[in-house]
């Protein structure tokens, strides 16, 4: 079947599915407690896509060109039976990489069953090695040690290469960059630094809070010299650098200072089945209603292709060019990053 292309000739290669909008953390830059408190109404079970529905949508997207599937959230490991979802997705024709992004809190316990279910690898978010800083950032007093244990479990069960994501926020954890680099050099873990983004409307984002990737590269390079690595494939969002002494590599995701919309091949599906063709999209297309109708596989394929065909999103590039793009935005915890 032909690969679907959007208006800017970008194929769809990467499907990210949020399996829940709930989370056991309240990271200050993602789900601030003042907004996501006791009174916050999360989705009810019947509002979530079922595993059958996710499998059907994934199979259809695979026919359009999707090869990589990422399971995210909220915190995906709090969705009951998520390993059974992995077991459904891993064997689908065309899908050659099933990964999951997690805060790592439940990973030590769940890594073996996820590996058995066919998960290829994991990305673990960890913003600091300093316990006080980390507890303040996740805002539920969760200790660093337990996340490190989750990372070790992922390495031991072959969910590799393990990537670790660190969102760097000025004045909060920018002093921890070198300690993180040192901790993961030579371990096989790929550490990636993420520029703090203006997703959603609740995190009070300011440009001053962003630590540009160039600053991070310079800091690491002056301690452990780095050299750039070519991207592994079209649409790879992380700029890669390897340590000249052979101790591995790091990545930088610079969505604020160096946007990569021209190569953006990602589609995102929220836990309630809304398709977002951009992380900064203001509205999603309701696929839950579609899969809960009597629609045939061929009709579903045509509907999804039609949605991709008209895609012309390039929010980050427009913002960098100075075009005003002041729109109501969707929360990161809703579509999973």
Interaction between residue 332 and ligand SAM (CB under 6 A): yes
Pick between residue 12 and residue 220 the one whose CB is nearest to ligand SF4: 12
Please, which of residues 56-85 interact with ligand SF4 by CB under 6 A?
73-75
Pick between residue 34 and residue 302 the one whose CB is nearest to ligand SAM: 34
176: CB partners within 8 A, 6+ apart:
127, 128, 129, 130, 133, 166
302-319 CB burial, b ≥16 within 10 A, e <16: eebbebbeebebbbbbeb
Interaction between residue 167 and ligand SAM (CB under 6 A): yes
Tell me how far apart the alpha carbons of residues 122 and 70 are, in angstroms, rounded to a whole number.
9
Q: Distance from CA of residue 2 to its chain's centroid?
A: 27
User: Which of 260, 288, 290, 335 lies at the binding interface for ligand SF4 (CB under 6 A)?
Assistant: 260
Please, which of residues 19-78 interact with ligand SAM by CB under 6 A?
23, 29-30, 72-73, 75
Tell me how far apart the alpha carbons of residues 307 and 294 are, in angstroms, rounded to a whole number.
19
Q: Which span (97-105, 238-246, 293-301, 306-314) binds ligand SAM, by CB under 6 A?
A: 97-105
> How many residues of this chain interact with ligand SF4, rule: CB under 6 A?
24
Using N-to-C axis directions, what is the helix angle for 177-184 and 213-223, rounded to 10°?
Answer: 60
Pick between residue 11 and residue 133 the one whose CB is nearest to ligand SAM: 133
Interaction between residue 138 and ligand SAM (CB under 6 A): no
Instruction: Name the strands in the sheet holding 97-102, side by side, starting at the edge strand that comes first in the sequence.
Output: 226-229, 239-243, 249-253, 190-195, 163-168, 121-125, 97-102, 68-72, 14-18, 266-269, 274-276, 285-286
Shortest distance in whole angstroms from residue 270 CB to ligand SF4: 13
| Residue whose pair of structure tokens reads 């000739």 in the numeric block | 9
Pick between residue 16 and residue 59 the one whose CB is nearest to ligand SF4: 16
Residues 202, 35 contacting (CB under 8 angstroms): yes
**Residue 60 binding: pick among ligand SF4, ligand SAM, none (C-beta 5-8 Å cut-off by kind):** none
- Interface ranges with ligand SF4 (CB under 6 A): 23, 25-27, 30-31, 73-75, 103, 125, 255, 259-261, 264, 278-280, 313-316, 333
């Amino acid at each position: 079947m032909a690969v679907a292309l959007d208006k800017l000739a970008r194929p769809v290669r990467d499907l990210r599915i949020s399996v829940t909008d709930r989370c056991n953390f309240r990271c200050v830059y993602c789900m601030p407690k003042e907004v996501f408190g006791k009174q916050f109404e999360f989705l009810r079970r019947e509002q979530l896509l079922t595993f059958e529905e996710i499998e059907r949508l994934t199979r259809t997207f695979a026919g359009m060109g999707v090869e990589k599937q990422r399971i995210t959230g909220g915190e995906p490991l709090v969705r009951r039976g998520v390993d059974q979802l992995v077991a459904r997705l891993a064997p689908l024709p065309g899908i050659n990489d099933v990964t999951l992004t997690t805060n790592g809190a439940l990973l030590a316990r769940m890594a073996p069953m996820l590996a058995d279910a066919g998960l290829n690898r994991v990305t673990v978010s960890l913003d600091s090695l300093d316990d006080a800083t980390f507890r303040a950032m996740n805002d539920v007093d969760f200790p660093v040690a337990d996340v490190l244990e989750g990372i070790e479990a992922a390495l031991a069960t072959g969910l590799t290469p393990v990537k670790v994501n660190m969102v760097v926020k000025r004045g909060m954890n920018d002093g921890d960059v070198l300690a993180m680099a040192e901790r993961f050099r030579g371990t096989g873990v790929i550490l990636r630094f993420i520029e703090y983004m203006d997703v959603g409307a609740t995190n009070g984002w300011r440009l001053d809070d962003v630590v540009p990737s160039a600053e991070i590269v310079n800091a690491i390079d002056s301690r452990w010299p780095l050299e750039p690595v070519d991207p592994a494939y079209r649409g790879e969002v992380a700029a890669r650098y390897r340590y000249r002494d052979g101790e591995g590599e790091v990545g930088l995701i610079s969505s604020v200072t160096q946007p990569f919309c021209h190569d953006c091949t990602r589609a995102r599906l929220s836990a309630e089945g809304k398709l977002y063709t951009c992380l900064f999209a203001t509205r999603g297309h309701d696929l839950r209603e579609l899969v809960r109708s009597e629609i045939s596989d061929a009709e579903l394929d045509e509907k999804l292709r039609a949605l991709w065909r008209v895609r012309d999103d390039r929010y980050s590039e427009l913002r960098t060019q100075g075009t005003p793009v002041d729109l109501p935005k969707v929360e990161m915890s809703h579509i999973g990053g």
